[in-house]
Copies of this chain bind each other. A is one copy, B any other.
Amino acid sequence: MLELKEKIKKEGKVLGNGILKVDSFINHQVDPKLMDACGREFARRFATVGATKVLTAEISGIAPALMTALYLGIPVVYARKTKPVTMPDQVYLTLAPSHTRGVMSELIVSPEHLKHGEKVLIIDDFLASGATILGLVRLAQAAGAEMVGIGALIEKDFEGGREALKKVGVPVESLAIIASLDHDTITFAE
Contact = CB atoms under 8 A, between A and B. Distances in A.
Interface of A: 15, 19, 21, 23-25, 27-33, 35-36, 58-59, 62-63, 66-67, 69-70, 73-78, 80, 82, 84-87, 100-102, 109-110, 112-113
A40 B72 CA distance: 19
Nearest to A103: B82
A73 B32 CA distance: 8
A19 B76 contact: no
A112 B11 CA distance: 12
A82 B85 CA distance: 20
Given A30-B69, A113-B28, A15 B101 contact: no
Contacts of A19: 85-86
A58 to B, nearest CB: 5
Contacts of A35: 66, 70
A19 B84 CA distance: 11
Nearest to A65: B30
Nearest to A25: B75
A7 to B, nearest CB: 12
A32 B108 CA distance: 21
A80 B100 CA distance: 14
A166 to B, nearest CB: 29
Contacts of A25: 75
Contacts of A67: 32, 66
A15 B86 contact: yes
Given A28-B110, A29-B113, A101 B84 contact: yes
